[in-house]
Amino acid sequence: MKFSDNIEKEIKIIMVNTIRGELEGMKFPDEIVLDFGAVIIDPKKFFESHLNIVEHNTGYIKNIFGERLTNALNVIGIDAHKIRKQAEKFVLKKYGINGK
Protein backbone atom coordinates (compact mmCIF):
# COMPACT_ATOMS: atom_id res chain seq x y z
CA MET A 1 0.00 0.00 0.00
CA LYS A 2 1.29 3.47 -0.90
CA PHE A 3 1.21 6.03 1.90
CA SER A 4 1.58 9.80 1.99
CA ASP A 5 5.10 11.09 2.61
CA ASN A 6 4.22 12.11 6.17
CA ILE A 7 2.80 8.70 7.06
CA GLU A 8 5.70 6.93 5.36
CA LYS A 9 8.17 9.06 7.35
CA GLU A 10 6.42 8.25 10.62
CA ILE A 11 6.39 4.53 9.81
CA LYS A 12 10.09 4.67 8.96
CA ILE A 13 10.98 6.47 12.21
CA ILE A 14 9.09 3.91 14.30
CA MET A 15 10.67 1.04 12.35
CA VAL A 16 14.23 2.39 12.71
CA ASN A 17 13.77 3.10 16.42
CA THR A 18 12.32 -0.37 17.00
CA ILE A 19 15.27 -2.00 15.22
CA ARG A 20 17.72 0.15 17.18
CA GLY A 21 16.00 -0.96 20.37
CA GLU A 22 16.35 -4.62 19.42
CA LEU A 23 20.03 -4.14 18.53
CA GLU A 24 20.83 -2.29 21.76
CA GLY A 25 22.90 -4.43 24.05
CA MET A 26 23.03 -7.27 21.53
CA LYS A 27 26.29 -9.18 21.28
CA PHE A 28 27.20 -9.26 17.61
CA PRO A 29 29.25 -11.94 15.89
CA ASP A 30 32.68 -10.86 14.67
CA GLU A 31 31.36 -10.96 11.13
CA ILE A 32 28.10 -11.63 9.31
CA VAL A 33 28.07 -13.51 6.03
CA LEU A 34 25.09 -12.58 3.86
CA ASP A 35 23.44 -15.10 1.56
CA PHE A 36 24.96 -13.52 -1.55
CA GLY A 37 28.55 -13.82 -0.27
CA ALA A 38 29.09 -10.35 1.18
CA VAL A 39 30.83 -10.29 4.55
CA ILE A 40 30.14 -7.62 7.16
CA ILE A 41 33.26 -7.32 9.30
CA ASP A 42 31.97 -4.72 11.79
CA PRO A 43 28.27 -5.51 12.36
CA LYS A 44 27.67 -2.76 14.93
CA LYS A 45 29.03 -0.06 12.62
CA PHE A 46 27.20 -1.59 9.65
CA PHE A 47 23.81 -1.53 11.38
CA GLU A 48 24.16 2.02 12.65
CA SER A 49 25.34 3.40 9.30
CA HIS A 50 22.63 1.60 7.35
CA LEU A 51 19.91 2.61 9.83
CA ASN A 52 21.06 6.22 9.49
CA ILE A 53 20.80 5.99 5.71
CA VAL A 54 17.33 4.46 5.89
CA GLU A 55 16.22 7.02 8.47
CA HIS A 56 17.36 10.05 6.47
CA ASN A 57 16.52 8.84 2.97
CA THR A 58 13.40 10.43 1.55
CA GLY A 59 10.85 8.17 -0.08
CA TYR A 60 10.53 4.40 -0.03
CA ILE A 61 13.73 2.44 0.63
CA LYS A 62 14.28 -0.06 -2.18
CA ASN A 63 17.96 0.53 -2.66
CA ILE A 64 20.93 -1.61 -1.76
CA PHE A 65 21.08 -0.18 1.77
CA GLY A 66 17.57 -1.35 2.64
CA GLU A 67 18.11 -4.78 1.11
CA ARG A 68 21.47 -5.35 2.77
CA LEU A 69 20.15 -4.12 6.10
CA THR A 70 17.13 -6.44 5.90
CA ASN A 71 19.31 -9.43 4.97
CA ALA A 72 21.81 -8.76 7.77
CA LEU A 73 19.03 -8.33 10.33
CA ASN A 74 17.54 -11.66 9.23
CA VAL A 75 20.89 -13.36 9.84
CA ILE A 76 20.85 -12.23 13.49
CA GLY A 77 17.17 -13.09 13.94
CA ILE A 78 15.44 -9.72 13.47
CA ASP A 79 12.59 -9.61 10.94
CA ALA A 80 12.57 -6.11 9.44
CA HIS A 81 9.45 -6.86 7.38
CA LYS A 82 7.52 -7.84 10.50
CA ILE A 83 8.69 -4.68 12.29
CA ARG A 84 7.61 -2.55 9.30
CA LYS A 85 4.16 -4.16 9.27
CA GLN A 86 3.77 -3.49 13.00
CA ALA A 87 4.83 0.15 12.49
CA GLU A 88 2.36 0.51 9.60
CA LYS A 89 -0.46 -0.94 11.69
CA PHE A 90 0.34 1.41 14.59
CA VAL A 91 0.48 4.55 12.42
CA LEU A 92 -2.62 3.69 10.40
CA LYS A 93 -4.58 3.03 13.59
CA LYS A 94 -3.35 6.34 15.01
CA TYR A 95 -4.82 8.18 12.01
CA GLY A 96 -7.94 6.04 11.76
CA ILE A 97 -6.94 4.59 8.38
CA ASN A 98 -8.07 1.06 7.58
CA GLY A 99 -4.96 -0.49 6.00
CA LYS A 100 -4.58 -4.10 4.98
Tens digit of each residue's pLDDT (9 = 90 or more) over 40-76: 999 999 999 999 988 887 655 556 778 889 999 999 9
CB 44 within 8 A of CB 28: yes
32: β partners: 40
Give residue 5's pLDDT.
85
100 pLDDT exceeds 70?
no
Element (H, E) at 11: helix 5-23
pLDDT of residue 87: 96
- The structural domains of the chain, with segments of one domain joined by +, span 5-94
Residue-wise pLDDT tens digits, 25-38: 999 999 999 877 78
89: Cβ contacts below 8 Å, ≥ 6 apart: 99
pLDDT tens for 68-82 read 899 999 999 999 999
- For the stretch 10-27, pLDDT in tens is 999 999 999 999 999 999
CA 3 from centre of chain: 17
Q: What is the pLDDT of residue 99?
A: 64
